[in-house]
Amino acid sequence: MNETVPSVNLLVGRKKAIQKKNVFFAKVQFIAALVLLVYIGLVVAILLVRFGVKAQSDSLDRKIDEQTLVLAQLRPVEEKYYTLTHKLTLLSEFLAVRGDMKASVRLIRDTLPEGVELASIGFGDNNQIMIEARVQDVFVLRDFLTLVRSQVSEDLFRTVNLDGFSRGEDGVWQLSSVYAIGS
């Protein structure tokens, strides 16, 4: 009677499970250590970058100080240059309008109708020419107004403003007007 007894080796599964468990633990440890190392590496890299940028900033500070020192020595030159450009700006603005004034005075006076007698010519700050005149009769005044209207329509003046006209006891008309020149 030779009877075969079935054998069960339960250790094979157990052994495999333990091996698997160990591999898992090793992986976890490895990943955790790797994360830690990478993170520390990142922190170190960031610190290095920060020190680098700080060093760059300090170096720039030194260079700026050097340039500032040199510019302080050049201050008298800069002041002269500033004064010059300032004066030239004032002069440019002034000279830009002066030529028009003379031409406009000539135009105003030379085209006045006969019978209009100039009493004064003034020059305003905003490219304006103010005139005061005496007119002998109303017909001359009409001619003057016609002339002024045509001068504006021909763009010889930007605007002409009649400030007022009055008639005195002697029958002479007094008028004042403001011519705006330029565009």
Partner 1 sequence: MAVSSMRASAKTQDTKTSGFDLLKSNPSSLIVPLISIGVVVMLTPLVLVPQLNEIIELRREVEQKESTLTDLTEKRTFLEGLDETTLQSDLDLAEKVLPKKKPVFNVIAALGQLVEKSELTLPSYDFTPGLLATESGKVGSVESDPGELAFLTVDYEVKGPFESIYTLMTLLETAAPLAAVKEISIDGMIVPESPDELSGTLTMQMFFSLPPVFRAKPEDPIKKMNARDQETLNEIAQFEEYELDMSNIPALDQQREDLFNY
State which of positions 114-143 bind partner 1 (CB under 8 A): 117-123
Q: Alpha-carbon distance 144 to 133, whole Å?
A: 11
**Interface segment toward partner 1; rule CB under 8 A; list 72-80, 137-145, 159-167, 175-183:** 72-80
> By C-beta, is 90 or 138 nearer to partner 1?
90
**Interface segment toward partner 1; rule CB under 8 A; list 80-88, 148-156, 160-168, 169-177:** 80-88
Q: Alpha-carbon distance 164 to 142, whole Å?
A: 14
**Interface segment toward partner 1; rule CB under 8 A; list 42-50, 135-143, 146-154, 164-172:** 42-50
CB-based contacts of 120: which residues, under 8 Å, 6+ apart? 130, 131, 132
**85 near partner 1, judged by CB under 8 A:** yes
Bridge partners, 176 (sequence order): 132, 164
> By C-beta, is 83 or 159 nearer to partner 1?
83
**102 near partner 1, judged by CB under 8 A:** yes
Q: Which of 39, 142, 163, 182 binds partner 1 (CB under 8 A)?
A: 39
Q: Which of 15, 19, 41, 42 binds partner 1 (CB under 8 A)?
A: 42
Considering the complex, what minimum distance in angstroms separates the CB of residue 153 from partner 1? Answer: 26
Judge contact between 181 and 158, C-beta under 8 A: yes
Q: Alpha-carbon distance 182 to 157, whole Å?
A: 7
**87 near partner 1, judged by CB under 8 A:** yes
> By C-beta, is 54 or 158 nearer to partner 1?
54
- Alpha-carbon torsion, ordered 91, 97, 103, 109, to 10 deg: -110
The count of other CB atoms within 10 Å of the CB of residue 175 is 20
